[in-house]
Structure 1
Amino acid sequence: MKAQTIAVLGGGSWGTTIASVITRNADVVLWARNPETVREINNQHSNQRYLPGTQLPARLRATSDITAAVEAADVVVMAIPSQHFRHVLREFKQHVRPGTPVISLTKGLELSTHMRMTEIIAEELPGHPRGVLTGPNLAREIMEGKAAASVIAIEDEAIGRQLQDVFKSGLFRVYTNTDVTGCELGGVLKNIIAIAVGMGDGQGAGDNTRAALITRGLAEITRLGVAMGGKPETFAGLAGMGDLIATCTSAQSRNRHVGIELARGRDMHEIVSDMTMVAEGAKSAPAVMALADRYGVAMPIASDVARVLAGDATASRAFRGLLRVEAGAESEPG
């Protein structure tokens, strides 16, 4: 498979960023539902709603016709929020060529089924290779040309190496991995921990507290990820620890922002109404807890965050429970 044309579906910050990166290696068509966004990308080479002040490559083309975007594509890249992911797959599934790889950029779970995005791809588009691009990737920094690393996870190693050449560009390094489950779960689960860290930061917790939350949060992520079939070493890499650090410490992190605002006493409806982009951790928390129950994995930090998001506890009360008074062996939950 030598990719000539790539369809990127989703005109938000990350979809637009990845589409821009890929233009250095292949022809790219970016699908966005909003015709205004499409016109702006094609005519002004910008996307001010999601990437204000950023110049996009002149060769990046956009369309609001999803059929036109996918029918000639050698690879389809999905930058669609988790709760709309299946619907968009169904919109184009009759028009994509057989065997075309479908790659997810989405770090969330489907609430109604608790499924990962690659599982949804397998269900809706059987026979298509499926994978995930994930890691500590903040869109604005990549658009500014700052160094970053990511992981393309797909079971077929040969396709993985070919996709590596599609996505890598300049200071944006891309590594391969065959552990799709672990890489995908790392991206999903770290969002919950980032909300916890934001709750702490919003209440003035110190660097020691943040480090403890990140470290103990990684232990929770790894326990559930391994129980679900991921490899332990994946969670020590870019898709696990790397993504967790970036999301828990960056001022650009949407999930950390949610935690900070919760700590300030705002409710979720208020917070979400002020946000342009989706905070996947807030959306996926109930599904994460359902999976923890199903696999019998203790996730005390994630559980506290889920209770706050559900309105069953306040951020100030929950944060006091994030670091347990009773501490046993470091290998134990809690």
Structure 2
Amino acid sequence: MKISIIGAGSWASAIASLLSDKNEVLLYARDRDLERSINEDHVNFKYFPKKKLSENIRATSDLKTCFENRILINAIPTQNVRRVYENTKEWLRDDQVIINLSKGLELNTHYRISEILKDIYGDLNFAVLSGPSHAEEVIDNMPTVVVCASEDLKLAKEIQNIFSRSYFRVYTSTDVNGVELGGSVKNILAFSIGMASGLGYGDNSKAALITRGIHEMERFASHLGAEPKTIHGLAGIGDLIVTATSEHSRNNRAGKLIGQGKSLDDLSKEINMVIEGIPTTKAVYELSRDMGIEMPITNELYKVLFEGKDVDQSVRDLMGRDLKNEY
């Protein structure tokens, strides 16, 4: 099988590595130097400079070439999805499938990625792959479990078979909404938990943020039509745990830096990757505000990131909210 991955970042490279044992994989890389590095040296020098990639992995800077394959995997950051795909409508065939790896909500529209792509293409064969899965571990074949969601269960099962390996287990779901929303909100919560670490708070604080964050995630997703069981699964709690506790998490690292007094400008210099939690915080804050959904952690993070609120004061305000029953 020939598979295209739109993007050439760390997660795209890890998934390419996973699939390359049985398939020919084509990565879309706009950077000509990166294209040359992958094709000639079999190395993604930007993200895995010490990792040799399979010769079954090739790269191209020609996006149209990627659309020749039936299986298309999106690994473009959420805020760039519309710009990358908006001029490709006439290239997509009815038999083609788009599998999304990215997480977050689009600014202004507040759309999930499935909604962005439907806005561009109309009806399409879509699935989302999500769960607790750091690229740094997947590329080293460490045991990982994720979920693939599609409204078409037959398609979800097909993708399950394409991706499953002895070290990479894939479950299926039809709750696209829940999987996308869980993957979005967990980045906000991971950022907040990292911020608590940066302030020097201990395990008690982080456990409280994780637990109350799960309530917040479920409240938001359920209000938007997701199934609660999805939030309690791999795409919700599972992904939150790994993102909130791991040194590989860019959102957690970014939160720590903010907690230590760094600015948003400092983050881009110290973390050379997209931090989806920042625009997603803005999108989720605006959407929850407009829909009247209570999101105290998201609201406080928004005030810190976009209104300049003092981080310590934000935590004190969270702790000082009106007392009530846990549920």
Same fold (TM over 0.5): yes
- Kindly report the root-mean-square deviation, in angstroms, between the aligned alpha carbons of the 2 structures: 1.3
Q: What does residue 70 of structure 1 align with?
A: 67
1:213 maps to 2:209: yes
Q: Percent same amino acid among aligned pairs?
A: 39
- Partner Cα distance (2:316, 2:72) in 1: 44
- Partner Cα distance (2:320, 2:132) in 1: 28
- Partner Cα distance (1:312, 1:240) in 2: 29
Within-5 A mapping of 1:1-334:
4-71=1-68, 73-324=69-320, 326-331=322-327
Aligned partner letter, 2:221: G
CA offsets 1:118-155 (integer angstroms, 9 cap, x no match) = 00111111231112111111000111111111111101
Runs of 5+ unmatched residues, structure 1: none
1:113, distance to aligned residue in structure 2 (A): 0.6
Residues 196 and 319 in structure 1, CA contact (< 8 A), matched pair in contact too: no
SS of aligned partner of 2:225: coil
- Partner Cα distance (1:54, 1:158) in 2: 35
Residues 28 and 62 in structure 2, CA contact (< 8 A), matched pair in contact too: yes
- Partner Cα distance (1:169, 1:322) in 2: 43
TM-score normalised by structure 2 residue count: 0.97
- Partner Cα distance (2:255, 2:313) in 1: 13
Aligned partner letter, 2:94: P
1:314, distance to aligned residue in structure 2 (A): 2.1
Residues 7 and 77 in structure 1, CA contact (< 8 A), matched pair in contact too: yes
1:325, distance to aligned residue in structure 2 (A): 5.1
Residues 26 and 166 in structure 1, CA contact (< 8 A), matched pair in contact too: no
- Partner Cα distance (1:98, 1:292) in 2: 35
- Partner Cα distance (2:183, 2:112) in 1: 11
Residues 99 and 127 in structure 1, CA contact (< 8 A), matched pair in contact too: no
SS of aligned partner of 2:86: helix
SS of aligned partner of 1:94: helix
- Partner Cα distance (1:12, 1:63) in 2: 14
SS of aligned partner of 2:111: coil
1:324, distance to aligned residue in structure 2 (A): 4.1
- Partner Cα distance (2:319, 2:54) in 1: 46
Residues 199 and 319 in structure 1, CA contact (< 8 A), matched pair in contact too: no
Mean CA deviation greater in 74-83 or 317-326: 317-326
CA offsets 1:240-293 (integer angstroms, 9 cap, x no match) = 000000000001111111110011111101112332111101121111011112
- Partner Cα distance (1:25, 1:92) in 2: 28
Mean CA deviation greater in 81-90 or 235-244: 81-90
- Partner Cα distance (1:142, 1:284) in 2: 25
Residues 6 and 74 in structure 2, CA contact (< 8 A), matched pair in contact too: yes
Aligned partner letter, 1:27: E
- Partner Cα distance (1:297, 1:191) in 2: 18
- Partner Cα distance (1:94, 1:275) in 2: 36
- Partner Cα distance (1:288, 1:25) in 2: 39
Aligned partner letter, 1:59: N
Residues 132 and 239 in structure 2, CA contact (< 8 A), matched pair in contact too: yes
CA offsets 1:38-88 (integer angstroms, 9 cap, x no match) = 1111111111211232221221111111111112x1111110011110111
1:181, distance to aligned residue in structure 2 (A): 0.3
- Partner Cα distance (1:142, 1:67) in 2: 28
